[in-house]
Chain A
Amino acid sequence: MAEVRLHGVTKSFGATTALQEMSITVPDGSFVVLLGPTGAGKTTLLRMVSGLDKPDMGEVFIGGQPVRGLTPAQRNVAMVFQQYSLYPHLTVRENMEFPLKSPLLRTPRAEITRKVAEVAEVLQISHKLENKATALSGGEMQRVSIGRALVRNPAVYLMDEPLSSLDAKLRADLRIELKNIQANLGATFLYVTHDQVEAMTMATHVGVLDHGRLVQFGTPREIYENPVSIYAAGRLGQPHINILPADLFGPAPPAATKIGLRPEQIRQGEGQDSLVKRVEHLGDQTRLHLSFNHHDLITVTDAHTTLQAGDIVKIQPQHPFYFDATGARIL
């Protein structure tokens, strides 16, 4: 296991800049989740670390050593791709054995069998080991793909939305499993996801990426409770943070143009009237779609609320975020 560090890494594909002077440190044994919309540079960052693409500028360090010029094999990284990339001509077992049999590792036979059995057990694919890789369901393929990474003991695990194609139950199981593996092995993970639950539950650190730049790096709670910008605030939170004109509820700090309100920053039962437009019962929570002063906002209320569309609810901001015209947070 090792620390991974990027220093001033820039990468362009034609006219598009995927990474702009990206500097980030993934501490040894940490679980770093990268957040950002499509095109923010998350996958490119993983490919820089893996060695599949080379930076135009800047340097990547794994375990303190610059890895410029090293092949992916020499970097000793494991990667799970977004699209399952199982070798279709091999069985599940052969797929999982593949990295162990590489000229790099040359694992003894007994060790291979033991490792594969162990990981297959964890991923619940033991009964599929002799199947052809192409005879699996999408979820099973993705588990094998994760398994192929987990049989190894690399410097860093790189995972590109590994759970996105799985159903909810399996995703929840694997989330816990991956987190356990990471905690037990003390492994370093660099993990790309869109899923906020994954980010909040698994990450020791979250990196927020915007157009190839790292805009915020910190623990998931820091990012959630202390976002540096509207953009960073928008990465986490279900429902999405409400962004409204700063003076909608009354006086705001001088430079502020926007106010940001997460559901827990909206106090209900006090303040000014708002109209309930729709009530969504999600089971464990209920979402209220409100109209306040011709602006729509969404908040969460008691799961067993008796509110209905057309009712009036009083609301008032509580410790809101204020943002300036550029979207940066005003403290």
Chain B
Amino acid sequence: MSFSITEPSNRQKWIAGILVIGYAILTLIPLIWIIATGFKTPSDAIAYPPKLLFTPSLEGYVNLFTSRTRLAPEDLAALGDPTTWYDKIVRSYDMVITGPSRYGERFMNSVVIGFGSTFLSVFLGTIAAYAFSRFKVPLKDDLLFFILSTRMMPPIAVAIPIFLMYRELGLSDTRLGMILLYTAVNLSLSVWLLKGFIDEIPVEYEEAALIDGYTRFQAFYKVVLPQAATGIASTAIFCLIFAWNEYAFAALLTSGTAQTAPPFIPTIIGAGGKDWPAVAAGATLFLVPIMVFTILLRKHLLRGITFGAVRK
């Protein structure tokens, strides 16, 4: 492939810059809207025309994390003055906090299931990819095709068999069940991606390590893994994004103990009026872990997305 090496003119650079910034703004609008809504009061959130400037409020976040109940004015008066800032917000609606909401638990479920299945997918994927890349595996091409073929239909197409199977196995509404499910879905992606990365690592490095007095496993651990770090990181991001955002299976298979945040967040809407700020606050917080994870690994991600295109 050949590339033009002519420096673009200033005009071209301006146009390119404007297009990129325009696209970035366009894609960021929903995100900004969500984050902003999280800091609005419920009345500001549904104001028409939408308020671009508003007085920030933590009401959405308070509502997100608490269960509240409405009290008669005389009962409220009997309680005395609110002692904390969040009490104060709730009291202004003639309500009191009765306890924490389920959001914390659901969020933790998402963390455990998301990172658990990501770890498992990447761990198993790396080992399988290494074997496919380096060893003579009988029917290698057929096996690889079979692994890929599991991605040829949307996973939700097998929702009903999985639902029935999970019910029989007692995996419904368990963290383990969800981890296994997401791992199964992600594994084909991770095997294929990682095989590509490991194929790119010359076998000479391992041979050198074998001769330098290491066993094959030590050579894998000390020589292959560090060089596959980029691939492993980008694969992990892809796996995590899928497991983190997955909605359909989570809604179908979890309801109580193992429910993740995605099916939980919409249920906030129903609890006492359309509480958009609380929904937005839940969505905003839900974005944070994956954002941090992606930012931490972003230098690997760029290299990962362009892998194969760049020769070392």
Contacts and interface: CB of A to CB of B under 8 A. Distances in A.
Interface in A57-107: 71-73, 76-79, 81, 83, 85, 87-89, 98-99, 102-105
Given A89-B226, A89-B227, A99 B204 contact: no
A271 B129 CA distance: 71
A287 interface: no
A73 B214 contact: yes
Given A98-B212, A102-B212, A103-B218, A88 B227 contact: yes
A76 B212 CA distance: 8
A165 to B, nearest CB: 14
A79 B213 contact: no
Contacts of A148: 208, 212
A104 B207 contact: no
B204 A98 contact: no
Given A89-B226, A89-B227, A71 B210 contact: yes
A105 B211 contact: no
A102 B226 CA distance: 17
Contacts of B208: 79, 81, 85, 87, 148
B247 interface: no
B52 to A, nearest CB: 49
Interface in B191-215: 202, 204-205, 207-215
B46 interface: no
A99 B227 contact: no
Contacts of A89: 226-227
B213 A81 contact: no
B223 interface: yes
A107 to B, nearest CB: 10
A123 to B, nearest CB: 17
A87 B213 contact: no
Interface residues of A, number: 23
A52 interface: yes
B202 A73 contact: no
Contact of B205 (A51, A85, A103): A85
A27 B136 CA distance: 36
A73 B226 contact: no
Main secondary structure of the interface of B (DSSP, over half): helix
A89 B209 CA distance: 13
B213 A104 contact: yes
Contacts of A299: none
A15 B226 CA distance: 36
Contacts of A88: 205, 227
Interface string B228-257: 000000000000000000000000000000
Contact of B210 (A52, A76, A87, A105): A52
A10 interface: no
Interface in A82-136: 83, 85, 87-89, 98-99, 102-105
A44 to B, nearest CB: 13
Given A85-B204, A87-B205, A88-B227, A78 B211 contact: yes
A30 interface: no
Contacts of B213: 73, 76, 99, 102-105
Nearest to B226: A89
A50 interface: yes
B285 to A, nearest CB: 36
Contacts of B226: 89
Given A98-B212, A99-B212, A103-B218, A52 B223 contact: no
A52 B215 CA distance: 12
A52 B227 contact: no
A105 B214 CA distance: 10
B298 to A, nearest CB: 19
A89 B202 CA distance: 13
A226 to B, nearest CB: 36
Interface string A225-250: 00000000000000000000000000
B211 A77 contact: yes
A242 to B, nearest CB: 40
A225 to B, nearest CB: 36
Contacts of B218: 102-103
B198 to A, nearest CB: 15
A105 B218 CA distance: 14
A78 B210 CA distance: 10
Contacts of B204: 81, 83, 85
A325 B211 CA distance: 44
Contacts of B211: 50, 52, 72-73, 77-79, 99
B106 to A, nearest CB: 40
Interface in A178-218: none
A102 B202 CA distance: 21
A148 B214 CA distance: 14
Contacts of B223: 87
Interface string A34-61: 0000000000000000111000000000
B214 A102 contact: yes
Contacts of A98: 209, 212
A71 B205 contact: no
A99 B226 CA distance: 17
Which interface residue of A50, A52, A73, A98 has the most chain B CB atoms within 10 A? A73
Nearest to B229: A89
A118 B12 CA distance: 57
A36 B211 CA distance: 25
A72 B207 CA distance: 9
Contacts of A81: 204, 207-208
Contacts of B215: 71, 73, 103
Which interface residue of A51, A52, A85, A148 has the most chain B CB atoms within 10 A? A85
Given A51-B210, A72-B210, A79-B208, 4 more contacts: A81-B207, A83-B204, A89-B227, A102-B213
6 contacts: A50-B211, A52-B207, A73-B214, A102-B213, A104-B214, A105-B213
Interface of B: 202, 204-205, 207-215, 218, 223, 226-227
